[in-house]
Amino acid sequence: MTRKTLILLVAIGFLLFVLPAPNSAQERQVGSRTATGTKPQNTRAVVDAVEAEKLRSEMILAYEETEALIKFLAGFSFLRESTAMNGYETALQKLEVERKRVEQISISEFIVQADNWPNPKLLDQMIEVSRNIRTDTKFREVVRKAEQYSQLTGQSRETSSRKSSNSRSVIAAPAYIAPICNFDDPSNYPSGTDLAISNGVALGLHALADALPGIIGFLVALDNPARTILVIAAYAVDQVTNALSAVAADAEYCEAMILYIEDNLVHDEGHVALLITNDFYLSYMYRTVKSALSKATGKSIPTNCGSTRLTEAAAFFDASDSYIGTGAQRMTAFQKLRAAYQNIGAAACVQ
């Protein structure tokens, strides 16, 4: 996200604290009645048709930009199908009805109802924030990353979520939930910048939604559809942050674990493989060695008889790379994997 957009979102969070509340006793900038309706008629502000038409145009544009924003977010399937966006289509229909009502109302009636319209400053912020979020290339890339990670890991996460507990920091724990690892590129995961962008956007949307009146209407009180849309958008962006955070947590753990396994493949004599008996350790080791051999081959680094040792080790693993050997075979599997790994760049075949 551009520096300008981030500064804008932070500034909005501050400005919304100093703007008058939607139902405060302060008069709106346009309108023929006070916001509370408690002031006598002769103190009402008078506006002309030009001002009223300008305000109406801003309202319509704000509604259009808000609609475009939620449709932009709905264009990503993992957001559209999430609980955060439940009801967004109904909210869009209500927003369209309200927009048409504003378009068709007469200027005189518009002026009479002016106290029910949003603060002009808020309209400007709705337009600018919605448009900037929707068109910002860096935010689009962040959402695209979150969708990509979600598609790659959704099934595994759903399976893991049904487990009662997670002792992720202890690989030998009975309740251990396997993280989702990219063994070919363990360092490829959301950065702090990615998380800062999605957090900043969500903060701006939440602040803007909170500043809008929840109820609109002249004679009949109605839910404000624009505010509803912004609330949905804010929680949808929260979903982006949650997805990125989950992937980053898994990837950081996986990266550290892979480094630990690679060190053991050089210095350990098999003690860890014997001590950790829940099979996750050997499964991760198998995937680590497979990936290391593949990357070495791709870079024309000699692997000698590494592929042969890996094939021998594969007899102890199923098609999903899970260890299926017996307890007595754990040391044999480890020795085959260690020999396969140590063949990378070796001067001769390591048996």
Instruction: Please state the pTM of the whole predicted model.
Output: 0.71
Using 50, 70 and 90 to split pLDDT, how confident is the model at 6?
A: low
- Nearest of 274, 337, 276 to residue 307 by alpha carbon: 337
Please check whether residues 77 and 218 belong to one and the same domain. yes
Q: Are residues 287 and 208 in the same domain?
A: no
pLDDT at residue 62 in the model: 93
**122 and 19 in contact (C-beta within 8 Å)?**
yes
Assess contact for 265 and 341: CB atoms under 8 A: yes
* Residue partners of 339: CB distance under 8 A and separation at least 6: 306, 309, 350, 351
Domain carrying residue 283: 268-342
Rounded Cα distance, 157 and 146, in Å:
14
Q: How many domains does the chain have?
A: 2
Q: Report how far residue 111's alpha carbon sits from residue 33's, in angstroms, rounded to the nearest whole number.
A: 9
Would you say residue 57 lies in a domain? yes
Query: How far is Cα 78 from Cα 244, in angstroms, rounded to an integer?
Result: 12
Query: Of 190, 223, 250, which residue sits at a domain end?
Result: 250
By residue count, the chain amounts to 351
User: pLDDT band at residue 217, thresholds of 50, 70 and 90?
Assistant: low
**What confidence category does residue 52 fall into, taking pLDDT thresholds of 50, 70 and 90?**
confident
- Nearest in space to 308 (alpha carbons), one of 262, 264, 266, 351: 351
Q: Is residue 273 part of a domain?
A: yes
Tens digit of each residue's pLDDT (9 = 90 or more) over 115-138:
777 788 888 999 999 999 999 999
pLDDT, tens digit, 9 for 90 and up, residues 255-285: 988 999 999 898 888 888 777 777 888 999 9
d(Cα 288, Cα 284) in Å, to the nearest integer?
Answer: 6
Residue 350 belongs to some domain of the structure: no
Between 186 and 220, the higher pLDDT residue: 186
